Amino acid sequence: MGQTLFAKIWDAHRIADTAGGTQLIAIDRVFLHERTGSAALRRMAETGREVLDPARVFAVMDHIVDTRPGRGDGTLMPGGEGFIAQTRAATLAAGITLFDVNDRDQGIIHVISPEQGIVLPGLTLVAPDSHTCTQGAFGALAWGIGSSEAEHAMVTGTLRMERPMTMRVTFTGTLAPGVTAKDMALALIAEHGAGGGAGHAVEFAGEAVGALDMEGRMTLCNMATEFSAMTGIIAPDAKTFAYLANRPYAPTRFDDPFWATLRSDDDARFDREIVIDSAALAPMVSWGTSPEHTIPVNTTVPQGPERAHAYIGLAPGAPIEGTPVDAAFIGSCTNSRITDLRRAAALLKGRRIAPGIRKALVVPGSLAVKRQAEAEGLDKIFEAAGFEWRMSGCSLCFYAGGEGFPEGSRVISSTNRNFEGRQGPGIRTHIASPETVAASAIAGAIADPRKVLGKGAPA
Amino acid sequence: MKPVTTITSRGVPLLRDNIDTDTIIPSREMKTTGRTGLAEGLFAPWRYTNAVDRLADPAFALNQPEAAGARVLLAGANFGCGSSREHAVWALVEFGIEAIIAPSFAPIFRNNCLRNGLLPVELPADVVRDLAWQTVRIDLPSQTVSAGDQSWPFDIDPEAKQMLAEGLDAIDLTLKLKDTIRRWLDADRRTRPWVYLEKST
Ligand code: SF4
């Protein structure tokens, strides 16, 4: 019987079976950020342990760095400088490559890893960050771990793992205009639950996945953790290799026959299969406090947990479209890449955000994305529409205790989590695609991007 | 790490599904790169009526008099979903929680528990619900949870069990296989040379 892509990569990294029944898996790359990586580095220094192979460990400052123009090491988060100073000192001492605050290649961990060619098809890559699964878009086995596990991976070059089960999610057909990879991910979680992928490594496949560009594939894999999956993965194809060739840490060419083996065999069996008809999908928006609380933008709020309704302030039966919003956010490792910004800018061109919007931010995923966007004049479009144009980082994807949205805001956001308090105490988050965020910012209320797209840019 | 054997405590119910790590320890409560000083921020959004004065919300289960000194939490499915922050586990441990009983755990959170001597026990949702406020006895060697005259078996993989029971450090354990790892890396370097980067600086 054929093998799944997951099994091929897993088996190729299996060093030994441990006495306790787990498997010892070789880890090819470790990536740290200043928020959780600093804890791993600190403990390693305290216990006198050393990194096995520093050339394969990377670190970045992205989570709590300031994103206001002209930034330095200062951050609005109380105590934030400590994380920056400690990460800088510890990575230097350990010989780990660091993408520092204003390094020209700085950006969100899961945006810069592919930009640098650090993630490659067939590799194992871990980071103490749950959205590491984003990088599975390149056909790597990439997953999030805790700080202790990061220390384990750095010191031993391995992790002790229980082998997960496999699931394939096949998206058949073609997406309608205005429907994106973000909507695919949200539709999957809405239908199968935030715990639906538990215990599984999920391969995304099918015509609609093949049709996505690499950035769309990253958006889809990004949300695998919101599905509780160990990771998401997509078989590499010509687009994948074209994207990676000649990146700083990648091979210049991918003509070794090995690369062509990185796909699930036709007769491979998965432990679970889900099939979704892409043509039937609509733009999705969350109504509650879990990513599973998500509905098509043209429908009404269903009956959910009491507490979710109370927090978000929307009763069952209310239409989601037309719900007034106070703020808009475009950014995060889900939707902050150049194509995300292009698509949002296409809607915003020649338009203004509604007067009721008190804060609107665009935060490019990396400084490279920022430079590219500026070369295309996107920054001017966003600014003319009333958005602030920022330096790259995680920014208000989460609230670290510094900068926040105006008190009590309802935010339409291109991020991945709508948890209570995720973007600040009492802040109500609605997650959606960058198109839906842009359309909603223009309307001042949750809006269906297809209605704006149909109109074209105003003269 | 303190070895885990048996735990007897009242079970404090937080019976919601999908309780996320942003709720267990909000990012703003992670003030240093260390692993301590986190207990005060545990469940901060639910525990306090007001973020500034930190007045205890009497409606929150852990603030009720019966919860004093409790070491076992009861929760809904997919507990610990969201951010990978190990601070969630460090905060629970520092607060005095020794075990969590839930129908399921988010995978990264579960691993973080095992690395820090916090016992994650999976039992069906209706059983967890019935344990609310009861005195619960968790016995790791026999893999059972009991309350009153009833008892339920639970699953845990042998390695996790051994590490918890003996308080073992995973890194020390793996370093015993150092030579095996070294040999594997030497062979792999020849078959997949692109994996092994030379340090450029
Ligand atoms: S952008 Fe948000 S979700 Fe992504 S790594 Fe940063 S904080 Fe995490």
Q: What is the 3-state secondary structure (H, E, C) of chain B?
A: CCCCCEEEEEEEEECCCCCEHHHHCCHHHCCCCCCCCCHHHCCHHHHECCCCCCCECCCCHHHCHHHCCCCEEEECCCECECCCCCHHHHHHHHHCCCEEEECCECHHHHHHHHCCCCEEEECCHHHHHHCCCCEEEEECCCCEEEECCEEEECCCCHHHHHHHHHCCCHHHHHHCCHHHHHHHHHHHHHHCHHHCCCCCC
Report the distance separating Cα A257 and Cα A81, nearest Å: 47
A131 lines ligand 1 (CB under 6 A): yes
Q: Specify the pLDDT at position B32.
A: 84
The residues near A23 (Cβ < 8 Å, ≥ 6 apart) are A14, A16, A17, A160, A161, A162, A163
| Cα of A85 from ligand 1 centre, angstroms | 20
Report the distance separating Cα A66 and Cα A33, nearest Å: 14
Tell me: do A121 and A143 sit in the same domain: yes
Q: Which residue has the higher pLDDT, A20 or B187?
A: B187
Q: Where do the H-state alpha helices sit in A95-159?
A: 109-115, 147-156
With beta carbons less than 8 A apart as the criterion, state whether A208 and A173 touch.
yes
pLDDT at A181 over 60: yes
Q: Dump pLDDT digits (tens) for B27-70.
A: 999 988 888 999 999 999 999 988 778 899 999 999 999 999 99
- Residue A3 forms part of a structural domain: no
Q: Is A135 helix (H, G, I), strand (E, B) or coil?
A: helix
Query: Which amino acid makes up residue A179?
Result: V
Q: B6-168 architecture in CATH?
A: Alpha-Beta Barrel (3.20)
**Is A97 within 8 Å of B201 when comparing Cβ atoms?**
yes
With beta carbons less than 8 A apart as the criterion, state whether A432 and A412 touch.
yes
A398 lines ligand 1 (CB under 6 A): yes
Longest CA span, chain B = 66
Q: Dump pLDDT digits (tens) for B83-97.
A: 999 999 999 999 999
Q: Dump pLDDT digits (tens) for A264-296.
A: 999 999 999 999 999 999 999 999 999 999 999
With beta carbons less than 8 A apart as the criterion, state whether A441 and A347 touch.
no
Burial class (CB in 10 A: 0-12, 13-18, 19+), A57: buried
Q: Specify the pLDDT at position B144.
A: 98
Look at the block and give the residue holding tokens 């490559």.
A97
The residues near B158 (Cβ < 8 Å, ≥ 6 apart) are A20, A21
The CATH number assigned to the domain holding A253 equals 3.40.1060.10
pLDDT at B201 over 70: no
Q: Dump pLDDT digits (tens) for A349-388.
A: 999 999 999 999 999 999 999 999 999 999 999 999 999 9
The residues near A255 (Cβ < 8 Å, ≥ 6 apart) are none
Percent of the residues in chain A that have a pLDDT greater than 70, as a whole number: 99
Tell me: do A276 and A290 sit in the same domain: no
With beta carbons less than 8 A apart as the criterion, state whether A449 and A176 touch.
no
With beta carbons less than 8 A apart as the criterion, state whether B197 and A249 touch.
yes
Q: Specify the pLDDT at position A89.
A: 95
Tell me: do A237 and A317 sit in the same domain: no
- Which of A1-10, A36-45, A191-200, B138-147 is predicted least confidently? A36-45
Longest CA span, chain A = 70
Q: Dump pLDDT digits (tens) for A221-246.
A: 999 999 999 999 999 999 999 999 99
Q: Answer with the one of A110, A137, A161 that is the final residue of a domain.
A: A161
- Residue A7 forms part of a structural domain: no
Q: Which residue has the higher pLDDT, A126 or B169?
A: A126
Q: Answer with the one of A280, A307, A333 that is the final residue of a domain.
A: A280
Cα–Cα nearest to A362, from A339, A407, A396: A396
Structural tokens at position B80: 């610990």
Count: domains in chain A: 3
**Is A130 within 8 Å of B27 when comparing Cβ atoms?**
no
The CATH number assigned to the domain holding A303 equals 3.30.499.10
| Cα of A393 from ligand 1 centre, angstroms | 8
The residues near A443 (Cβ < 8 Å, ≥ 6 apart) are A354
With beta carbons less than 8 A apart as the criterion, state whether A393 and A110 touch.
no
Q: What is the DSSP string of A175-232?
A: PPTT--HHHHHHHHHHHH-TTTTTTEEEEEESHHHHHS-HHHHHHHHHGGGGGT-SEE
In DSSP terms, B100 is beta-bridged to B73, B120
Could you tell which of A332, A337, A417 is best to mutate to test the pocket of ligand 1, judged by most ligand atoms within 8 Å of the CB? A332
Q: What is the DSSP string of A230-267?
A: SEEE----HHHHHHHTT-TTS-S---SGGGGG-S--TT
Residue A338 host element (H or E): helix A338-348
For chain A, helix, strand, coil in percent to 5 are 35, 20, 45
- Summary mean pLDDT of chain B: 94
Q: Specify the pLDDT at position A456.
A: 67
Could you tell which of A415, A417, A422, A429 is best to mutate to test the pocket of ligand 1, judged by most ligand atoms within 8 Å of the CB? A415
DSSP A139: T
- Residue A8 forms part of a structural domain: no
**Is B85 within 8 Å of A95 when comparing Cβ atoms?**
no
Q: Dump pLDDT digits (tens) for A53-102.
A: 999 999 999 999 999 999 999 988 888 999 999 999 999 999 999 999 99
pLDDT-derived band at A347, boundaries 50, 70, 90: very high
- Which of A72-81, A204-213, A394-403 is predicted least confidently? A72-81
* Chain A: closest CA distance from residue B148 (Å): 31
**Is A152 within 8 Å of B171 when comparing Cβ atoms?**
yes
Burial class (CB in 10 A: 0-12, 13-18, 19+), B76: buried
Tell me: do A122 and A170 sit in the same domain: no
Q: Specify the pLDDT at position A78.
A: 86
What domain range includes position A181? 165-280
Report the distance separating Cα B170 and Cα A160, nearest Å: 8
A394 lines ligand 1 (CB under 6 A): yes
- Residue A6 forms part of a structural domain: no
- Residue A2 forms part of a structural domain: no
Residues of chain B with Cβ-Cβ distance to A199 below 8 Å are 107
Report the distance separating Cα B70 and Cα A195, nearest Å: 28
> How many other C-beta atoms are found inside a 10 Å radius of the C-beta of residue A266?
6
- Residue A236 forms part of a structural domain: yes
| Cα of A421 from ligand 1 centre, angstroms | 15
With beta carbons less than 8 A apart as the criterion, state whether A362 and A330 touch.
yes
Percent of the residues in chain B that have a pLDDT greater than 70, as a whole number: 99
**Is A144 within 8 Å of B35 when comparing Cβ atoms?**
no
The residues near A413 (Cβ < 8 Å, ≥ 6 apart) are A328, A329, A332, A397, A423, A429, A430, A431, A432, A437
Residue A381, phi then psi, degrees to nearest 5: -65, -45
Q: Is A422 helix (H, G, I), strand (E, B) or coil?
A: coil
The residues near A101 (Cβ < 8 Å, ≥ 6 apart) are A61, A65, A71, A72, A73, A84
Residue A402 to residues A64, A78, A439, Cα–Cα distance (Å): 9, 7, 28
Q: Dump pLDDT digits (tens) for A427-439.
A: 999 999 999 999 9
Report the distance separating Cα A8 and Cα A236, nearest Å: 13
Report the distance separating Cα B188 and Cα A341, nearest Å: 40
Among residues 7-66 of chain B, which lie with CB inside 8 Å of chain A?
Answer: 16-18, 20, 22-23, 26-28, 30-35, 45, 51
Tell me: do A237 and A310 sit in the same domain: no
**Domain ranges (residues) in chain B:** 6-168
- Residue A200 forms part of a structural domain: yes
- Residue A311 forms part of a structural domain: yes
Rounded to two decimals, the pTM is 0.96
Q: Helix B87-95 to helix B107-114 angle, to the nearest 10 degrees?
A: 50
> How many other C-beta atoms are found inside a 10 Å radius of the C-beta of residue A246?
10
Q: Answer with the one of A280, A307, A340 that is the final residue of a domain.
A: A280
Search chain B and give the residue with CA nearest A162. B157
With beta carbons less than 8 A apart as the criterion, state whether A208 and A195 touch.
no
* Chain B: closest CA distance from residue A30 (Å): 12
Tell me: do A170 and A132 sit in the same domain: no
pLDDT at B23 over 90: yes
DSSP A343: H
